[in-house]
Amino acid sequence: MKTMTKSKGATALPLNTILSGDCIDAMNSLPENSIDLIFADPPYNLQLKGDLHRPDNSKVDAVDDEWDQFSSFAAYDKFTREWLTAARRLLKPNGAIWVIGSYHNVFRMGAELQNQGYWILNDVVWRKSNPMPNFRGKRFTNAHETMIWASKSEGAKYTFNYEALKALNEGVQMRSDWVLPICTGHERLKDENGDKAHPTQKPESLLHRVLVGSTNPGDVVLDPFFGTGTTGAVAKMLGRDFIGIEREAAYRKVAEKRLANTRKFDREALQVSASKRAEPRVPFGQLVERGMLRPGENLYSINGRHKVKVRADGTLIGDDVKGSIHQVGAHLEGAPSCNGWTYWSYKQDGKKVPIDVLRQQIRAEMAERPN
Amino acid sequence: MKTMTKSKGATALPLNTILSGDCIDAMNSLPENSIDLIFADPPYNLQLKGDLHRPDNSKVDAVDDEWDQFSSFAAYDKFTREWLTAARRLLKPNGAIWVIGSYHNVFRMGAELQNQGYWILNDVVWRKSNPMPNFRGKRFTNAHETMIWASKSEGAKYTFNYEALKALNEGVQMRSDWVLPICTGHERLKDENGDKAHPTQKPESLLHRVLVGSTNPGDVVLDPFFGTGTTGAVAKMLGRDFIGIEREAAYRKVAEKRLANTRKFDREALQVSASKRAEPRVPFGQLVERGMLRPGENLYSINGRHKVKVRADGTLIGDDVKGSIHQVGAHLEGAPSCNGWTYWSYKQDGKKVPIDVLRQQIRAEMAERPN
DNA sequence: TTAAAATTTGAATCACCCG
DNA sequence: GCGGGTGATTCAAATTTTA
């Protein structure tokens, strides 16, 4: 499945592969403005002091790997500054980034994102339904992690599949707090000894929501701290291309095997609920041109308080106002704006019918006979 | 109720009073190592641009007060550095601080806390049960704010009333995410015109949990951004002493009146703080995200007459229909409504199993570990 | 008087295309 | 790049009004 396509000038993107080595060097080897989304789960700089034991004296298998050790905040900040700089260079102008962390590192990442000109869109809380309890009763159960979602710069046109996320949430808009279980059971990858292959493997459900919400099929997703490849696996399932970067050979090996066993969902399943904004624009005048409404015909406001006349050029005229369906509606309601399509009705057989019904008819025809 | 006690050397603490003026000057006028807990709700530096209207065209009453305006991140950082420095000087060696903020400012506060040698104990997420929605469908509903709880330094013996919090949480240890409603109704203070007295009044339930958890009766609690005095009111109710600092005379006036009407150990108010637990809603999309059902998988109607496919966003697609599990079921049966949970089954080992079984599984998980 | 329906409101970095 | 026109967009809870 490895591919080298979507070349940008002289350099091609190593799509659907895992690069080895230092993530900053690897990122700098890729062409600028070439990535749609970055998901980054960097070392958390945990600063654990000594071992932690449960009440039964069993030892907690803490994250004490060498890669998570930084000598100081300054060292961690330098690392953060460098990889975020490399990441920003890679992003397309309308690309975006997600970073995930805990209170140990997320404030430093968030501040650095802002310092570099990234524009924060949301912070999203992953609320774990089954976190590890606080065994000593000295603090609150650490039951969440924080993600930051940011565009490359202020004003960028980031991807946000609002309707798809709303559908995922059964018709209510998605909030900034996501309740999802941690990665356990069959999904949790094991090494040859049967121990967990990676200490902080993220659940696929988390990446599913991130990728459905902020990418489209065919987008290129980069994960500079690939680990055992959750980002790549979910990207592949969802029909996105991925690039992983991972320093540790053991993690790369587990990820390669995982990806080989991952299958893309079928095409139909990848279609998601689309926004109305994606529908083709229909000028109101077309209803008049097509004879669906006649010049001189009356339109009635949704609240029944206003009556206006259609003119031959597709504008409306009322007692003291004329203009487009939107302008006249806004003026009559004293509102800053008005969607004329849903505001006005015409009379058919004595009954009021919203003019939006006529727009639907035209759109249906367009779908049948494109052009 | 004003008192001047607990003198420290030559300087006495102005207990249970509201100091006027700039919070940094006021803090510097107080004796060092004298405060048990600081709760700080500083300006968030929202940087709002134009107006925002709801879909019904009503205008959102934005937080555009002069006190929330900063010229740059650098200016905001300088402000943060200065007040956190002054605050740290005031704290007793075993004292602690809480700060609250949103993604606009909380990362900068968190980083500065760490830089100054404060030791972060938890970040706590206030999940709002009734947040303002995202009206334009451009981002996730901003449904939470973040609090950081930190001791004066690493190794300090901070106060944590584990058992009291566990009791507040129906016998389960308190987690780092708190579901509480925003401040509305009778609790929301009004000015002479009947408008809200302060744009960002915090709910007493939030402060109740903070003060029960991290102070003891008789402790001195300082709030350098006192506003309309929620911290003071809850402190008084709980038998803690408070010191407030507030720049705006209008807020001080409202707070003084509020405090005069507040009584210690107000049973009724304590009841209010107990949060209601609602029946958990499980969106169908979560079954897809969690991998319990896979995009592309078939669902079968209870009568065996219909077969549809699951999509990645948790909607269904049939021959000529798509939508939620409920919408598609209703359409296929020609019914006005349909409970998709009981209407659809999936196949497991060749046998049809109602999807409601999967919902029961998730509900069971949630019931095991409530909140 | 009571229940139901309608209205109000909340720390918000909240369009996009075309000429 | 700028200005103007089109037209898409909300959830929970408290309060007020209507039936």
DSSP 3-state of B362: helix
Q: Report B:321-350 residues touching A (Cβ under 8 A).
A: 324
d(CA A173, CA A167): 8
Q: Which residue has the tokens 């090996």?
A: A253
Sheet of A241-246, strands arranged across: A17-20, A241-246, A220-223, A35-40, A91-101, A144-151, A119-128, A177-180
End residue of a domain, out of A236, A270, A304: A270
- C1’ D9 / CA B333, Å: 31
> Is it the case that residue A76 has pLDDT exceeding 80?
yes
d(CA B102, CA A123): 8
Greater model confidence, A44 or A46: A44
Domain count, chain B: 2
Lowest mean pLDDT among A68-82, A156-170, A289-303, B24-38: A68-82
Tell me the pLDDT band of B6, cut-offs 50, 70 and 90. low
Question: Which of A36, A26, A6 lies closest to A235, judged by CA?
Answer: A36
Asked whether the beta carbons of residue A271 and residue B139 sit closer than 8 angstroms, the reply is: no
- C1’ D2 / CA A170, Å: 41
Range list of β-strands (E), chain A: 5-8, 11-13, 17-20, 35-40, 91-101, 119-128, 144-151, 177-180, 220-223, 241-246, 298-301, 307-310, 316-317, 322-323, 344-348, 351-354
d(CA B140, CA A150): 12
DSSP string, A26-46: HHHTSPSS-EEEEEE------
- The answer to whether the beta carbons of residues B345 and B338 sit under 8 Å apart is no
d(CA B248, CA B245): 10
Footprint of strand D on the protein (CB under 7 A): A 162-163, 166, 171-173, 275-277, 279, 281-284, 323-327, 337-342; B 53-57, 129-137, 141, 181, 184-186, 278
d(CA A106, CA A98): 12
End residue of a domain, out of A270, A299, A324: A270
C-alpha distance from A9 to closest chain B C-alpha (Å): 33
Phi, psi angle pair for B85, to nearest 5°: -65, -45
Is the domain of A162 the same as that of A36? yes
Q: Which residue has the tokens 């048990």?
A: B36
Chain A hits for B111, CB-CB cut-off 8 Å, are 107-108, 110-111
- Whether B160 has its CB under 8 Å from any CB of chain A: the answer is yes
Lowest mean pLDDT among A64-68, A261-265, A291-295, B186-190: A64-68
Give the chain A residue whose CA is nearest to the CA of B46. Answer: A120
- Residue A122 Cβ < 7 Å to strand C: yes
- Residue B68 Cβ < 7 Å to strand C: yes
Is the domain of A128 the same as that of A264? yes
> Is it the case that residue A112 has pLDDT exceeding 50?
yes
Range of the domain at A294: 284-368
Provide mean pLDDT across the span B273-281: 50
- Whether B122 has its CB under 8 Å from any CB of chain A: the answer is yes
How far is residue A166 CA from its own chain's centroid? 12
pLDDT value of residue A368: 82
A169 assigned to some structural domain: yes
Strand B298-301 relative to strand B220-223, pairing: unpaired
- Residue B201 Cβ < 7 Å to strand C: yes
Q: How many CA within 13 A on the CB side of residue A204? A: 27
Phi, psi angle pair for A53, to nearest 5°: -120, 145
List of long-range contacts for B230-233, beta carbons under 8 Å, 24+ apart: B230/B183, B230/B201, B230/B202, B230/B203, B230/B204, B230/B206, B231/B39, B231/B207, B232/B16, B232/B18, B232/B258, B232/B259, B232/B262, B233/B204, B233/B207, B233/B258, B233/B259, B233/B262
A234 assigned to some structural domain: yes
Mean pLDDT, chain A, integer: 92
List of long-range contacts for B27-33, beta carbons under 8 Å, 24+ apart: B27/B83, B27/B86, B27/B87, B27/B89, B27/B90, B27/B222, B27/B224, B27/B245, B28/B86, B28/B89, B30/B90, B30/B222, B30/B243, B31/B90, B32/B8, B32/B89, B32/B90, B33/B8, B33/B89, B33/B90, B33/B91, B33/B92, B33/B93
- The answer to whether the beta carbons of residues B345 and B308 sit under 8 Å apart is no
- Residue range B296-325, pLDDT digits in tens: 999 999 999 999 999 999 999 999 999 999
Distances (CA, A) of B118 to A74, A134, A139, B83, B220: 16, 21, 16, 13, 19
Sheet of B322-323, strands arranged across: B322-323, B316-317, B307-310, B298-301, B344-348, B351-354
Strand partners, B149: B98, B122
Strand partners, A141: B175
> Is it the case that residue B272 has pLDDT exceeding 50?
no
Tell me the pLDDT band of A10, cut-offs 50, 70 and 90. very low
A329, containing H or E segment: helix A325-333
- C1’ C1 / CA B194, Å: 28
Lowest mean pLDDT among B155-169, B215-229, B261-275, B352-366: B261-275
- The answer to whether the beta carbons of residues B88 and B80 sit under 8 Å apart is no
Q: Which nucleotides of D are covered by protein (CB under 7 A)?
A: 5-15
> Is it the case that residue A61 has pLDDT exceeding 80?
no
Q: Which of A107, A110, A204 sits opposite B291 (nearest CB)?
A: A204
Q: Report how many Cβ contacts below 8 Å link chain A to chain B.
A: 217
DSSP 3-state of B170: coil
Is the domain of A87 the same as that of A158? yes
CA R_g for chain B:
25
B101 assigned to some structural domain: yes
d(CA B144, CA A164): 22
Which range scores top for mean pLDDT: A75-79, B98-102, B281-285?
B98-102
Is the domain of B181 the same as that of B214? yes
Is the domain of A132 the same as that of A106? yes
Q: What token pair was written down for B179?
A: 């579901």
- The answer to whether the beta carbons of residues B68 and B43 sit under 8 Å apart is yes
- Residue range B41-80, pLDDT digits in tens: 999 999 999 999 999 999 999 999 999 999 999 999 999 9
> Is it the case that residue B271 has pLDDT exceeding 80?
no
pLDDT value of residue B265: 75
Is the domain of A257 the same as that of A343? no
Residue type, B346: Y
- Residue B303 Cβ < 7 Å to strand C: no
Which CATH number belongs to the domain containing residue B232 in this structure?
3.40.50.150
Lowest mean pLDDT among B126-130, B137-141, B335-339, B362-366: B362-366
Q: Report A:7-66 residues touching B (Cβ under 8 A).
A: none
pLDDT value of residue A11: 63
Q: In sequence order, which residues have a C-beta less than 8 Å from that of residue B239 and are 6 or more positions away?
A: B217, B218, B264, B265
Q: What token pair was written down for B266?
A: 């107000």
Is the domain of A230 the same as that of A316? no
Q: What token pair was written down for B125?
A: 């997420």
Is the domain of A232 the same as that of A139? yes
DSSP 3-state of B356: helix
Mean pLDDT, chain B, integer: 92
Q: Report A:85-114 residues touching B (Cβ under 8 A).
A: 102-104, 106-111, 113-114
DSSP 3-state of B305: coil
Tell me the pLDDT band of A71, cut-offs 50, 70 and 90. low
Tell me the pLDDT band of A47, cut-offs 50, 70 and 90. low
A95 assigned to some structural domain: yes
Lowest mean pLDDT among A134-138, A148-152, B39-43, B209-213: A134-138
pLDDT value of residue B5: 56
Tell me the pLDDT band of B274, cut-offs 50, 70 and 90. very low
Is the domain of A196 the same as that of A321? no
Instruction: Look up the protein residue whose alpha carbon has the minimum distance to the C1' of D11.
Output: B133
Is the domain of B313 the same as that of B347? yes
d(CA A286, CA A290): 6
B196 assigned to some structural domain: yes
Chain B hits for A326, CB-CB cut-off 8 Å, are none
Mutual orientation of helices B230-237 and B204-214 as an angle, nearest 10°? 50
End residue of a domain, out of A270, A301, A319: A270
A8 assigned to some structural domain: no
Q: Which residue has the tokens 């720049």?
A: B247
Q: Where are the alpha helices (DSSP H) in B57-151?
A: 73-90, 106-115
Range list of β-strands (E), A191-325: 220-223, 241-246, 298-301, 307-310, 316-317, 322-323
Q: What token pair was written down for A34?
A: 């070439």
Is the domain of B217 the same as that of B128? yes
Mutual orientation of helices B249-260 and B230-237 as an angle, nearest 10°? 20
d(CA A141, CA A123): 20
% of chain B at pLDDT higher than 90: 85
pLDDT value of residue A48: 46
Asked whether the beta carbons of residue A107 and residue B114 sit closer than 8 angstroms, the reply is: yes
B179 assigned to some structural domain: yes
> Is it the case that residue A72 has pLDDT exceeding 90?
no
- The answer to whether the beta carbons of residues A243 and A221 sit under 8 Å apart is yes
Q: In sequence order, which residues have a C-beta less than 8 Å from that of residue B364 and are 6 or more positions away?
A: none
- Whether A266 has its CB under 8 Å from any CB of chain B: the answer is yes
B220 assigned to some structural domain: yes
Q: Which of A129, A138, A160 sits opposite B138 (nearest CB)?
A: A160
> Is it the case that residue A69 has pLDDT exceeding 90?
no
Calculate the dihedral angle through the C-alpha atoms of B229, B235, B237, B241, rounding to the nearest 10 degrees: -110
Q: Could you say which residues 315-354 of protein chain B have a Cβ atom less than 7 A away from any atom in strand C?
A: none
Question: Which of B139, B140, B137 lies closest to B127, judged by CA?
Answer: B140
- C1’ D10 / CA A335, Å: 17
- Residue range A207-244, pLDDT digits in tens: 999 999 999 999 999 999 999 999 999 999 999 999 99
To 5 degrees, how large is the angle CA A32–CA A34–CA A36? 130
Is the domain of A293 the same as that of A159? no
Q: How many CA within 13 A on the CB side of residue A359? A: 16
pLDDT value of residue B11: 64
B301, containing H or E segment: strand B298-301
